[in-house]
Structures are given as C-alpha cells and as structure tokens.
C-alpha cells in the first residue's frame, strides 16, 4: 500500500477519508510534529483521535456530524468528561475498557490452525469482511471504503483469516498505525473490529488475527497496540489478558444514536431476555416506532401496537396464523398429504405400524428417515437408517417424542429452507449439519464441545451440539471416536441432520435459488393456508428445479437469515403501510423467471 505522507503541509492532498492538519504553531524544526484534528473514515463509522484536537468544542462538533447509520468513536480525548459536558444530551462515555499490549518482547506467531492470515488481495475480500461483520451483528462498511483504505492509506491494515482447505474468509481485524496516520510521538497503534464468523468451527482464529496484527506493528517499531472491549465481555477480556494486554486509563466517547442506545439507556425491562428469534422482531418494531410490550420473554411473546392496531406474536408466529394452519404444520403426516394433493413432490413414506411392515418398507427403499409426526427442533429424528436393528432403535427414539411416527425414503441433497411471508419468498438458505475441523491437538469430543459453546454464544443459547448417541454414532460411522485426536484441517460431520438447534449452520442462497423452488415454497404455503412459514426442501443444487418436499415450519427463525429482510417483511405483514420492506420475490414473477430461463435454454 502507498499513500502521500499524512504529515504533509496544511492544504496538501491526502487520501479521501482522512481529515487532518498540522498545529499552526509548530516550530519549523519539528517536521515530525503530530497532526491535528485527525478523523479516519472506516465505513462503519469514523475514528476520531481526540488527542489531536486542541479545542474540545471543535471535537464535540465533529462528533455531532456523525452520519446516520454510522458508529463513530472518539478515542484518546484529553478530557473525556469535559467533552461530554459540552454536549451531554448528545454525547456519552462508552462503557468499555481500553487494553494495551506493550511490545517489551518479540510477539510470537500464532500456531498453525488450518488457516492463513493475510491482507486483502481483491475487492471480493471486502465483501467477505462485511459478511463476517453481519454474522457477528456488527455494522458493515461500504466495500469501496475498505478497498480504498487498503490501496491508498498506509496507516490502515486490513487482515483476514482464510481457511486453508477451501479459501473461505472466517475472520477479520483492522489495524491503525498512529505514527503513520498523524505522527504519534508515543509510536502507538490500535486494533479495531476483530470479528470471527460464529460458524467458523475452528478455535483460536481471533488469537491468530490479533498476533498477526501485533507482529506487523512491532516490526514497524510501534511501542504498543490498543483495543477497546465492552466492560462486561469477560471472555474477551480474559483472552486479551492472556495474550499480554493490560488495562490503561483511556476512555472512548460516542454520540447518542439508535445503534448505541443500549449503551446509554435502559431498554424495556425484559427485551434483553428475549431469544434472538423474538428480539429481531422487537428491534425492527422499535425501529419503526411500533410500541413493543414483552408479555413472556421466555416464550418470546410480544404485544405490538401502532395506530390503533395491536398484534400478539410468539417469535414469527402471530394471531394471523390460524389454528387450522398451525395444526397442519404440526402434524407432518397431514402436511405431506395436503402439499402432495397440491402437486408438490414428497418422498415415499408411511405411518409406522411398529411391525414387520416397517421392515418391508425399509427393504424396499433401502435408506429411510424416521421422525415423530409432531415435534420441532429436530428432536427424535434419525437420518440414514439402513438396517432392521437401526430402524427399531430409531422408531423407539422417535416414539419417545410422539406416539405416531413417520418413515420416509431418504432423498439425496442439501437441506434448503425458504421463508415465505405473505405469499412472498423473502429468504432462502442451505442448512448444513454440525461439523468440526481438526487441529491435530484436540480430541473429537473437545472439538465438539468447543464448537457447541461457540454456536450457543452466537445464538443466545439456542444452538448446541448434543453429546448423545446420534452424535457418537455419526462420528463412529466416519471412522472416528470421541477420544481420537482429529488431524489438523480434517473436517468431520458430527450430526446427520442440519437442524440449527443441534449445532447446524446456515448459508444464505437467496440470490441464487431457482425460481421453481421459490414457486414450490409459495404453493406449499398457500396449500397449507399459512401466511408465515419456513418451507424445507431437499435439493441436489439450489440453481436447479429438482426438489423433494420435507416439511413446513409454522414458526421459522427469522434471525437465522440475516442480512435478508425477514424481520422487515414480518413487521410489514403485521402492519401494512409501514416503510422498510425491500422488494421481495413474488409468485407473479415466477412466469417471468421461467420465460427468461427458457429463452436462455433456446440460445445456441
């Protein structure tokens, strides 16, 4: 990366996104003097270096200029309490700690974990950084800002952690070199937006990124690297202290905006107790000015009110889903019959009779899925049953959840969830079973437990990998045991089903799913008579029309599909006329999409 010297004379050219000037009173012999009024644009917001401002009123004014939807941070203000006093209705002191790693000794590299930490090589990397940001609930940045900073600003370093096996970006961190940016006499640097994809499945990615950035700064002769961490993030604080960071008396100041609101005000009493599936709806409603009352935080029940209209919801289930539609989804056998009569393809299946007829069906189709006719979150389901003894065990397991059990021929393909809201497909995602990646040091059991903790943390406790007979059997079928050390880089699937509550991961395919699959999802929802649902299909390829219908969920987890606008679509359905719903795919577009596909097929 190259850029003009940020300590150039006042009026000289600087890379777009950096605002600074030299102190006017600086003597001629101090050519390395610190620049003043330094503001660095990072896309998600601006870093405002408070120690470069001599006038607190000017600093307060810069903070007031924060753009909508951004998250500016003023760090190193000389007197943060005085700064806030200049605009107490607009500014607040961030409840975070600043930690510093002083480079007294050489920074050791992180051990090999099946990843490579590198800088950006292509604008696509900027998109991948934003994908990780969104998965971590962080504010994304315009990709052109990331790429421009990478190419033109030698004070900014973007690093990404990339899987060695498939090249997927699973983590990122941003570094700022204070000496290069404004001639810092302390020779400092700082670390920002450290983020690791919750579905990464590899331990130590954050440590590797932190060490790699620290090594870069140390090689340049920097004295330390700082970072800011929430005061109650005990896990992160423990990790940083283990690396060698110590707390320093440095405060950050932020502007009171909608993004920062939880930091300076108390949310409604039990909103923080909601699970992610109810919280995403509450947040969207609050954003639109809809009154939110939590009726039962544990159950995710809300009362939403606006303009004389009141609706009670339980996560994505509302009063507008009829009891009949809900019962149709609840009974998988009934769901099969209804969608099959609507012309939708379902796998061969039968209601278990718990006798020889079940074994005869297995012998006929060779491979089956056994599941209770009623239930959710994948409980009691066994996939890949091929032998009589396994069938009997699977039937007994399913029968513990409900006395009626369904046996279906197992179809090949990936598990595709399509979210249909008000006759529109608003999101589509592939769901994959839980898997772990070997480090060469940890046992399979340890890897599963670590991945389960990460999934639980990322989903508010909603997703965990059960350490049960099914997990053990899945591991054993792959040729391993819980006590084996999995070689570095080896990926092991530890569950047969892609259920998110059992540690599965979700991968957005909304932009690429075939129009016929969208049409099938809408048709299934209409046949059942349900306005909000998650339609599950097994598909060999999301870009092709082939599928087999599996089931319909009357309460799909909208939070699983971010950044797709599922919560916006849901609230728009509940309160028609409220702004905020992007264009979604509608059934009327199916014919147009099919026509375009046929045109493409006719071309030589």
Q: How far is CA 119 from the centre of its chain?
A: 22
167 sits in the region (left: phi over 0; alpha: psi -120 to 50; else beta) called left
d(CA 486, CA 450): 14
Distances from the Cα of 87 to the Cαs of 37, 64, 66, in angstroms?
Answer: 18, 9, 14
Q: Rounded to an integer, what distance in angstroms lies between the CA atom of residue 282 and that of residue 293? A: 9
The residues, any chain, with a CB within 8 Å of residue 414's CB and separated by 6 or more, are 430, 431, 432, 498, 538, 539, 540, 542
Tokens in use for 60?
Answer: 């307060």
Q: Say if residues 216 and 107 touch (Cβ distance below 8 Å).
A: no
Quick: pLDDT tens for 567-600.
999 999 999 875 543 344 444 444 454 444 444 4
Q: What pLDDT was estimated at residue 452?
A: 82
Alpha helices in 204-290 (DSSP H): 205-219, 234-243, 261-264, 276-287
Q: What is the pLDDT of residue 323?
A: 94
pLDDT at 460: 65
Q: Where are the domains of the chain?
A: 18-255
Q: Which of 68, 104, 67, 63 is nearest to 80 (CA)?
A: 63
In whole angstroms, what is the distance from residue 514 CA to residue 545 CA? 6
Question: Which positions ≥6 away from 54 have C-beta within 8 Å?
Answer: 23, 36
In whole angstroms, what is the distance from residue 124 CA to residue 127 CA?
5
With 0-12 CB in 10 A as exposed, 13-18 as middle and 19+ as buried, what is 362? buried
Spatial CA neighbour of 421 closest among 338, 510, 546: 510
Q: What 3-state DSSP class applies to 311?
A: strand
What does the pLDDT read at residue 583? 41
Within 45-154, where are the H helices? 56-64, 80-86, 123-135, 143-152
| Nearest residue to 156 via CA among 147, 165, 164 | 147
Q: Would you say 265 and 103 are in contact if contact means Cβ atoms under 8 Å apart? A: no
Closest CA to 162 of 209, 210, 207, 130: 209
**Rounded Cα gap, residues 51 and 44, in angstroms:** 22
Give the side-chain half-sphere CA count within 13 A for 153: 29
The residues, ordered by sequence, that sit 6+ positions from 342 with a Cβ below 8 Å of its Cβ are 523, 524, 526, 527
Phi, psi of 493 (to 5 degrees): -80, 130
- State the Cα angle at 250 between 248 and 256, rounded to 5°: 140
DSSP 294: E
- The DSSP output letter for 342 is T
Q: How many CB atoms neighbour CB 311 within 10 A?
A: 18
Considering the segment(s) 18-255 as one domain, its CATH architecture is 3-Layer(aba) Sandwich (3.40)
Distance CA 110, CA 196 (A): 16
45: left (phi over 0), alpha (psi -120 to 50) or beta: left
| Omega within 30 of 0 (cis) for the link into 563 | yes
Question: How many CB atoms sit inside 10 A of residue 592's CB?
Answer: 10
Please state, in angstroms and rounded to a whole number, the distance separating the CA atoms of residues 582 and 580.
6
Q: Are strands 73-75 and 46-49 parallel, antiparallel or unpaired?
A: parallel
- Please list, in sequence order, all residues whose beta carbon lies within 8 angstroms of the beta carbon of residue 30, skipping any fewer than 6 positions away: none
Place of tokens 């009154």: 291
d(CA 369, CA 526): 26
Q: What pLDDT is recorded for position 202?
A: 84
Cβ–Cβ under 8 Å, residues 194 and 209: yes
Low pLDDT (below 50) residues in the chain: 1-16, 20-32, 580-591, 593-604
CA distance 260 to 91: 11
Those residues whose C-beta lies under 8 Å from the C-beta of residue 150, and which sit 6 or more positions away, are 1, 119, 120, 126, 156, 158
């Amino acid at each position: 990366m190259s850029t003009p010297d940020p300590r150039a004379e006042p009026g000289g050219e600087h890379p777009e996104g950096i605002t600074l000037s030299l102190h006017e009173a600086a003597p001629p012999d101090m050519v390395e003097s610190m620049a003043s009024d330094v503001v660095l644009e990072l896309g998600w917001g601006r870093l405002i270096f408070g120690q470069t401002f001599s006038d607190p009123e000017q600093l307060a004014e810069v903070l007031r200029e924060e753009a909508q939807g951004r998250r500016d941070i003023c760090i190193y203000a000389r007197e943060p309490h005085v700064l806030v006093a200049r605009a107490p209705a607009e500014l607040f002191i961030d409840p975070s700690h600043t930690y510093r790693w002083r480079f007294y000794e050489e920074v050791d590299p992180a051990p090999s974990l099946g990843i490579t930490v590198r800088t950006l090589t292509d604008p696509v990397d900027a998109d991948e950084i934003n994908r990780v940001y969104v998965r971590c609930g962080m504010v994304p940045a315009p990709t052109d800002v990331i790429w421009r900073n990478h190419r033109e600003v030698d004070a900014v370093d973007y690093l990404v952690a990339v899987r060695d096996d498939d090249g997927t970006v699973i983590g990122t961190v941003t570094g700022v070199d204070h000496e290069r940016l404004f001639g810092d006499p302390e020779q400092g640097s700082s670390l920002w937006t450290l983020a690791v994809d919750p579905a990464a499945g590899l331990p130590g990615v954050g440590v590797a990124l932190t060490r790699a950035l620290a090594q870069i700064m140390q090689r340049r002769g920097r004295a330390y690297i700082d970072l800011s961490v929430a005061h109650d993030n005990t896990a992160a604080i423990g990790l940083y202290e283990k690396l060698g960071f110590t707390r320093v008396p440095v405060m950050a100041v932020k502007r009171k905006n909608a993004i920062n609101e939880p930091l300076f005000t108390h949310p409604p009493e039990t909103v923080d107790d909601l699970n992610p599936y109810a919280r995403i709806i509450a947040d969207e409603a609050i954003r639109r000015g809809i009154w939110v009352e939590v009726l039962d935080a544990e159950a995710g029940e809300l009362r939403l009110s606006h303009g004389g209209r009141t609706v009670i919801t339980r996560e994505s289930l509302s009063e507008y889903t009829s009891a009949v539609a809900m019962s149709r989804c609840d009974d998988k056998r009934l769901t099969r019959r209804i969608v099959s009569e609507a012309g939708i393809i379902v796998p061969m299946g039968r209601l278990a009779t718990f006798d020889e007829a079940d074994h005869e069906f297995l012998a006929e189709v060779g491979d089956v899925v056994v599941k209770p006719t009623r239930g959710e979150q994948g409980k009691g389901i066994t996939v890949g049953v091929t032998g009589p003894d396994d069938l009997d065990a699977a039937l007994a397991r399913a029968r513990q959840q409900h006395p009626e059990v369904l046996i279906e021929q197992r179809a090949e393909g990936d598990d595709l969830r399509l979210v249909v809201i008000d006759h529109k497909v608003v999101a589509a995602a592939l769901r994959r079973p839980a898997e772990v990646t070997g480090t060469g040091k940890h046992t399979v059991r340890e890897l599963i437990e670590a991945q389960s903790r990460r999934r639980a943390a990322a989903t508010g406790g909603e997703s965990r990998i059960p350490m049960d007979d099914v997990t053990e059997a899945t591991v054993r079928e792959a040729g391993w045991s819980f006590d084996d050390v999995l070689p570095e880089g080896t990926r092991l699937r530890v569950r047969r089903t892609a259920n998110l509550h059992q540690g599965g991961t979700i991968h957005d395919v909304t932009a690429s799913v075939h129009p016929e699959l969208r049409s099938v999802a809408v048709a299934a929802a209409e046949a059942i008579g349900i306005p909000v649902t998650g339609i599950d299909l097994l598909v060999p390829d999301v870009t092709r029309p082939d599928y087999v219908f599996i089931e319909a969920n009357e309460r799909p987890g909208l939070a699983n599909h971010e950044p797709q606008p599922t919560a916006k679509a849901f609230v728009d359905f509940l309160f028609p006329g409220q702004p905020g719903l992007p264009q979604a795919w509608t059934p009327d577009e199916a014919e147009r999409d099919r026509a375009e596909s046929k045109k493409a097929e006719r071309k030589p």
